[in-house]
């Protein structure tokens, strides 16, 4: 280096190093130096989703497809049904897990743990009915329907639907479910908790031999959602605002 340039170069290097350190801290220790900071492709943030796909037994080596309001990706579950995927996406997301003839769905309104089970399938049935459609219509129209996206991104609405699933299943099938927050509570196949709840539901007839919700359970949650429609005028904020949902009692 030319010694005459040192007084000018050193301050520039110091400023660059300081900016790089600040960016590294902001990126939680990851070396991300794009113009979008820690954001992903097309300015979308990086989102990590994980969970377990199970029916009372693990959905092992299953295809896990994630479709978000913007962005998508896929991965495979491991031998215990656990999956994890990081993708550039705009939330919310719908998850589909397929193993043989069984396909179950779930949703994610934030990054973190979101399981996929017959209970989450019934939760989507309930939400779809609240929105005046069925589960097939909800999934097919999700990426182009702003109302669907607002509801699935709304933690309050999703948790109310989760509570409705628990209430209706317990009353109709005379079971006691030990994990009411089945969507986000870590689930380990073969251990007490969420997995034993799935076993109890299967024994009671709410889950069929293929690991899918029994048609009677689907009809139950569809009717419950229809009885508690969501309003269409309010706008949630950051996944926590309300759109006027109700937990819904036994039909």
Give one DSSP letter per residue of 29-54, joined into a string: T----BTTBTB-GGGPBEEEEEEEBB
Specify if 207 maps to a domain.
yes
Residues 25 and 69 in one domain: no
- Can you give the pLDDT at residue 235? 46
Please state, for a pLDDT cut of 70, what percent of the chain lies above it: 75
Please state, for a pLDDT cut of 90, what percent of the chain lies above it: 75
Specify if 243 maps to a domain.
no
Q: What is the pLDDT of residues 1-16, one digit of tens each?
A: 444 444 433 443 344 3
Residues 14 and 75 in one domain: no
List b or e across 165-194, with b for residues whose CB sees 16 or more CB atoms inside 10 angstroms: bbbbbbebbebebebeebbbbebebeeeeb
Residue 134 has pLDDT above 60, yes or no: yes
- Can you give the pLDDT at residue 36? 36
Across 167-181, average pLDDT: 98
- Can you give the pLDDT at residue 47? 97
Instruction: Give the total number of structural domains in the chain.
Output: 2
- Can you give the pLDDT at residue 43? 83
Residues 157 and 170 in one domain: yes
The number of beta carbons lying within 10 Å of the beta carbon of residue 138 is: 24
Residues 8 and 19 in one domain: yes
Residues 49 and 20 in one domain: no
Residues 121 and 31 in one domain: no
Residues 168 and 145 in one domain: yes
Phi and psi, residue 34, nearest 5°? -75, 165
Q: What is the pLDDT of residues 191-238, one digit of tens each?
A: 999 999 999 999 999 999 999 999 999 999 999 999 999 975 444 434
CATH assignment at residue 110: 2.60.40.1120
- Can you give the pLDDT at residue 41? 57
Task: Work out the mean pLDDT of the chain and round it to a whole number.
Answer: 83
The number of beta carbons lying within 10 Å of the beta carbon of residue 155 is: 17
Residues 60 and 136 in one domain: yes
- Structural domain that includes position 113: 41-226
**Which distant-in-sequence residues (6+ apart) come within 8 Å of 155 by Cβ?**
109, 110, 239, 240
Structure-block tokens of residue 176: 């006691």
Residues 93 and 12 in one domain: no
Residues 129 and 74 in one domain: yes
- Give strand ranges (E) for the chain: 46-52, 63-70, 72-76, 82-88, 90-99, 102-108, 112-113
Specify if 249 maps to a domain.
no
DSSP-assigned beta bridge partners for residue 46: 88
* Distance separating alpha carbons of residues 131 and 231, to the nearest angstrom: 8
* Distance separating alpha carbons of residues 213 and 110, to the nearest angstrom: 25
Q: What is the pLDDT of residues 45-87, one digit of tens each?
A: 999 999 999 999 999 999 999 999 999 999 999 999 999 999 9
Residues 1 and 112 in one domain: no
Specify if 244 maps to a domain.
no
* Distance separating alpha carbons of residues 53 and 114, to the nearest angstrom: 9
Q: What is the pLDDT of residues 24-35, one digit of tens each?
A: 333 333 333 333
């Amino acid at each position: 280096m030319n010694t005459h340039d040192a007084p000018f170069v050193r301050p520039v290097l110091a400023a660059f190093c300081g900016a790089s350190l600040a960016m590294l801290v902001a990126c939680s220790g990851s070396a991300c130096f794009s113009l979008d900071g820690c954001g992903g492709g097309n300015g979308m943030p990086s989102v990590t989703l994980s969970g377990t796909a199970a029916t009372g037994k693990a959905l092992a080596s299953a295809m896990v497809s994630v479709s978000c309001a913007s962005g998508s990706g896929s991965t495979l579950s491991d031998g215990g049904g656990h999956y994890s995927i990081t993708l550039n996406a705009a939330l919310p997301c719908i998850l589909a897990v397929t193993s043989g003839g069984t396909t179950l769905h779930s949703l994610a309104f934030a990054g973190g743990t979101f399981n996929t089970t017959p209970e989450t399938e019934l939760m989507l049935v309930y939400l779809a009915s609240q929105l005046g459609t069925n589960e097939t219509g909800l999934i097919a129209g999700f990426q182009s329907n702003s109302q669907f996206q607002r509801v699935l991104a709304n933690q309050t609405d999703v948790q109310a639907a989760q509570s409705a699933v628990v209430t209706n299943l317990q009353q109709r099938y005379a079971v006691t479910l030990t994990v009411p927050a089945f969507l986000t509570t870590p689930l380990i196949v073969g251990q007490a908790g969420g997995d034993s709840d799935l076993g109890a539901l299967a024994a009671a007839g709410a889950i069929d031999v293929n690991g899918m919700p029994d048609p009677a359970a689907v009809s139950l949650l569809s009717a419950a959602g229809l009885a508690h429609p969501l309003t269409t005028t309010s706008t949630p904020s950051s996944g926590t605002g309300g759109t006027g949902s109700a937990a819904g009692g036994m039909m």
